[in-house]
Structure 1
């Protein structure tokens, strides 16, 4: 059985974590396969958006502790350096939007993997858990970076040191994710969002993503300067020309992603 399912349709690369019997927890094979598929989607000119989700009841339960005969002997430095950190960096630095469709529980590294996405949509029945503290570990996979920026320092601290389960509705309410949708409409909503992003100006999205990433460390002056540089770049794209033409002609634009 393939641990990562991959297909492309209507400009969207559908990437599915596929270890349902293990709640899509990560082993070495799945981590490396996900990296490979993310690279493939990034390099494929036919792909203009990525939709990442899980199979079965869970999105991802984090690290598969059963991968080692003695979990206390897991080499966390190697695991993070070779598996999780590259995945998070690929998602955040990719010049294509990444939608994470959280179809069930997202725990530990699985929760923070989801939060690395550009847009996160979750089933109402899904939940997010910073489960690390329950086994004496600290949040990784970018959790200590993303959570304070999404929900604020006080709430991030509480979630990280209590391991409290957060429902999808509460996650949406506190700004952790974009939205929670009914289980029945989940797949439709995720696909519609991904296909909508795939139809938009791809280069404009990439430049916007770059600016928002850099805003975490830039001063206001630096950010204004970078906005100016990247606006000049955006203004040279064919999609900008198409957008202006469509506006003037009162028609729907047909963006090509360049």
Structure 2
């Protein structure tokens, strides 16, 4: 397992930490696979009753490493987005245990997408949620085009997914995908409290109730596949390739 993903089990809760501070916790293909493994292996472990997703160094995650996008976009192989990201998203969809997100700082791109799949979300006042795919000539991912309108309504979803506008923690709470806003550094503390509360409830009743609340898995998988097809097509478009290249040109200046 990559050193950029830290997995710990304590008090019936598995905590998955994204840690790549020098890159604002941007996610590599190895990190996606490590998170997917951590989620998948928890499914058959009755001792794990709840999952927490969080970041380190005051950042949730700045999203996908853009170098992966550029490499895939300029590859001679005709494929969708780098496959381990899709594997991770599918693990989130197929997961049967409550997931809590503890968000400090920025949650960009897939960092915001994964929050939409969580059952309970705690954000610090420094949290910023943004899905800037449109700025790179891309489209929504991870069934976010299905989940977000259901949570916040069409107009707010359009603002985030099509216009690429960001939301702070308080706005996200008012929109409905953040439960609690806390001071900086306190998100993980509150997440552990919520996890203990969940773990003290009857496990079978929690699992059944959660399933009743969620959209059917097959609907989410179907939307992920549909988005991934469009995502792959758009990723190889001239405007997307130019946007990826401009990203690195700006970083060099």
Question: TM-score, normalization: structure 2?
Answer: 0.78
- C-alpha separation between the residues in 2 aligned to 1:40 and 1:112? 22
- Partner residue in 1 for 2:123: 122
Runs of 4+ residues over 6 Å off in structure 1: 215-218
Structure 1 residue 62 corresponds to structure 2 residue 63? yes
RMSD over aligned CA atoms reads 2.3
What is the CA-CA distance between 1:50 and the residue it aligns to?
Answer: 0.5
Question: Which residue of structure 1 lines up, in the alignment, with residue 44 of structure 2?
Answer: 43
Match of 1:193 in 2: 194
Partner of 1:212: 213
Query: How many Å separate the matches in 1 of 2:217 and 2:159?
Result: 22
Shift of 1:69: 6.3
> Mapping of 1:84-95 within 5 angstroms?
84-95=85-96
SS of residue paired to 1:96 = coil
Contact 2:13 2:195 in 1 (8 A): yes
CA contact (8 A) 2:53 2:101 kept: yes
| Residues 68-127 of structure 1, C-alpha deviations (whole Å, 9 max, x = no match) | 6656426794436x3233323322332210101112211111110122111111111111
Deviations 1:191-245 (A, max 9, x none): 1011111121111111112112247999xxxxxxxxxxxxxxxxxxxxxxxxxxx
Which structure 1 segments of 5+ residues have no match?
A: 219-258
Distance (Å, rounded) in 2 between the aligned partners of 1:184 and 1:57: 7
- Structure with higher Rg: it is 1
Give, in whole Å, the separation in 2 of the partners of 1:103 and 1:39. Answer: 25
Q: How does 1:147-226 map to 2 (within 5 A)?
A: 147-214=148-215
Match of 1:222 in 2: none
Q: In the alignment, is the contact (CA less than 8 A) between 1:7 and 1:15 conserved in 2?
A: yes
The count of residues paired between Structure 1 and Structure 2 equals: 217
Q: Find the counterpart in structure 1 of residue 28 from structure 2.
A: 27
1:30 and 1:207 map into 2 onto residues whose CA distance is 30
Tell me the distance in 1 between the aligned counterparts of 2:24 and 2:54: 12
Cα gap change, 1:203 to 1:86, in 2 (>3 Å): farther
Query: Residues 52 and 99 of structure 1 are in contact (CA less than 8 Å); yes or no, is this contact kept in structure 2?
Result: yes
1:52 aligns with 2:53: yes
Segments of 5+ residues of structure 2 without an aligned counterpart are 220-253
